[in-house]
Structure 1
């Protein structure tokens, strides 16, 4: 299939403020800003080849996000530095029922959960973001669907019910599906964008993604040049125009 992962998109009450938080925390930069979105981009040396996009929405955050970022650390002191920096920038520690674990669960200034991991060999070459984590009732099914539409191979499984897709270049964040029985109740505030490669037909790409197991998502609003779909567990995502 000729589609690939291109963006992680976050709904925000104040997109520029949230973009500034994440840029400062990760050591990245705000690359573009307009009334519809603010884009944060990593340096080429990081390995993250996506955009982190913040878009304005009027709705307030209601429930724990089903998609979150895990940040990588090189040493325990580096982990502590990242936690301290996040809190200084306006983040906060949160309890989502994690108990006594070696990673730290935080929230950004608008309440979006993320984790700062202790050093782990699997994430030694990912760059600042270790993984994009998606809650899933059936991680194997979800990983199979997303592997097909992003071209990312399955590269990890563990006893906790996690299935991970590796970045094709071997560097950059994993896309991981973690077993979680919570029921989706509202539109996700964090979603993924995929896009066909330049030169491919958008309508054909959408049809292929639907044939792989996606369903149309009717969110209302004006007609858009991209298509909003749902994965097999109802998570919204966009198929953008070729690029």
Structure 2
């Protein structure tokens, strides 16, 4: 049995606001629920925005990297983000660095990468989920998804689907301490008709943990990876509950 990345989810105070922002920025179509973005060929996963009453606290453990074909493309992406309600963000980047750091309307960080980045070549516009995490957690996600390692040096790791598309990368130590629940998290799903709980048991054998106090049921189980990052395994079509 093979899990697939069903959705990349973002906890949001205003899910519809953020869904409109990211739809406009990524050029994705809104789903009928008004708070999800449909997948595109280069990723294969949805973007879902889940209601929460908890304000953002501290930097996210995960942020998105968007790529550019040219300096003009990079500038137009930045301008579009600002017009949609984003803002520039100072995280200590140096003037000579070519990427631009921005935040969405609720302060979630993302970067617009300069053209010519060889590591993200051919990954598509939504090129990377860049994570603060250990080498071991990269190995966990390799085994959880069955995606091969495409980088494993100096305790930094990255995986990518065999069919290409968005990479997931971990920066290695020192790992920033978590400050509350992650805003970004992933939802995994087994193939239709397969046993969800058997797959949960497999993930636990890989050093995942059942989330303390998390919701567990016939169609959705919440877990944490070896670094303590939240994710869930759900059946296709399982409903979400506001936090």
- Which ranges of 4 or more aligned residues in structure 1 deviate by more than 6 Å? none
Change (3 A) 1:13 1:225: same
Structure 1, residues 99-155: CA drift from partner, whole Å, max 9, x if none? 33211111000100001111213323222201011111x2x2111100001111001
Match of 1:28 in 2: 28
Is residue 133–residue 178 contact of structure 1 (8 Å, CA) maintained in 2?
Answer: yes
Question: Which structure 2 residues correspond to residues 38-117 of structure 1 after superposition, within 5 A?
Answer: 38-44=35-41, 47-100=42-95, 101-117=97-113
Please give the secondary structure, in 2, of the residue aligned with 1:54: strand
Q: Equivalents in 2 of 1:239, 1:222: separation in Å? A: 10
Q: TM-score, normalised by structure 2?
A: 0.90
- Whether 1:199 and 2:196 are equivalent positions in the alignment is no
Q: Equivalents in 2 of 1:56, 1:237: separation in Å? A: 16
Is residue 15–residue 55 contact of structure 1 (8 Å, CA) maintained in 2?
Answer: yes
Change (3 A) 1:8 1:17: same
Structure 1, residues 24-51: CA drift from partner, whole Å, max 9, x if none? 01111101316xxx2112443xx11100
Change (3 A) 1:43 1:202: closer
Aligned-pair CA distance for 1:222: 8.1
Is residue 200–residue 242 contact of structure 1 (8 Å, CA) maintained in 2?
Answer: no
Aligned-pair CA distance for 1:220: 5.0
User: Which of the residues 131, 141, 146 maps onto 1:146?
Assistant: 141
Q: Equivalents in 1 of 2:156, 2:77: separation in Å? A: 24
Is residue 66–residue 135 contact of structure 1 (8 Å, CA) maintained in 2?
Answer: yes
Q: Equivalents in 2 of 1:126, 1:219: separation in Å? A: 37
Q: TM-score, normalised by structure 1?
A: 0.90
- State the number of aligned residues: 234
RMSD, matched Cα: 1.9
Q: Equivalents in 2 of 1:191, 1:2: separation in Å? A: 19
Segments of structure 1 that go 5 or more residues without pairing to the other structure are none
Match of 1:212 in 2: 206
User: Which of the residues 215, 227, 232 maps onto 1:233?
Assistant: 227
Is residue 11–residue 190 contact of structure 1 (8 Å, CA) maintained in 2?
Answer: yes
